[in-house]
Amino acid sequence: MTKHPVFKPDPKLDLVLERTLDVPRELVWTAWTTPSHIPHWFVPKPWTIIDCEIDLRPGGIFRTVMRSPEGQEFPNVGCFLEIVPNERLIWTDTLLPGYRPAEKPFFTAILTLEPQGSGTRYTAIALHRDAETRKKHEEMGFQEGWGTVVNQMVEYIKSKMS
């Protein structure tokens, strides 16, 4: 596409996590889009992922089930919107798979991977409908949670995928 990207984070509404990772973006992409890799890094330990379903196409399902250390389960269902291998992954919980409007819309996630030397410039953006939802997401621990799982992902890539 020659035009500018259609998404534009707004500091009043959105949350952004940026990191430089010393692993190649192709491995980051694979870690993010493969159901068998996800459980190894996707939630801060000692939480676990006990199920993951990925249909990697626009409208396809992105489903995970988290389990707390106490054994409570939290399913998350989202819908993929854009898939540009090794570059950009966009999904939202505002829609269910197949584009049906969801009952409890919360955010859209945009993951961008750019090459930086032999590593990766990693940008995760969460788009919200209003400042209140942004604040709620921040208080739920967006920075800490997404930051922790990036570290877990890099460690996993280095020890198991490289």
Q: Rank residues 41 and 80 by Cβ distance to a second copy and give the closer one.
A: 80
* Contact indicator for 95, 106 with CB cutoff of 8 Å: no
**Count residues contacting a second copy (CB under 8 A)?**
35
Q: Rank residues 5 and 115 by Cβ distance to a second copy and give the closer one.
A: 5
CA pair distance 156, 23, nearest whole angstrom: 11
Mark 74-93 with x for binding to a second copy (rule: CB under 8 A) and - for no binding: -------xx-------x-x-
Q: Strands, DSSP E only, in 68-107? A: 73-84, 88-92
Could you say whether residue 53 binds a second copy (CB under 8 A)?
no
Residue with tokens 């032999």, as numbered in its chain: 118
Six token digits for residue 111 = 């993951």
* Contact indicator for 55, 155 with CB cutoff of 8 Å: no
* Contact indicator for 48, 57 with CB cutoff of 8 Å: no
**Residue in 26, 51, 53, 55 binding a second copy, rule: CB under 8 A:** 55
* Contact indicator for 64, 38 with CB cutoff of 8 Å: yes
- Rounded least distance, CB 2 to a second copy, Å: 10
Q: How far is CA 114 from the centre of its chain?
A: 15
Range 96-135, binding a second copy (CB under 8 A)? 97-103, 105-108, 110, 127-130, 133
Q: Rank residues 130 and 155 by Cβ distance to a second copy and give the closer one.
A: 130
- Rounded least distance, CB 73 to a second copy, Å: 23
Tell me which residues touch a second copy (CB under 8 A).
Answer: 1, 3, 5-8, 13, 55, 57-60, 81-82, 90, 92, 94-95, 97-103, 105-108, 110, 127-130, 133
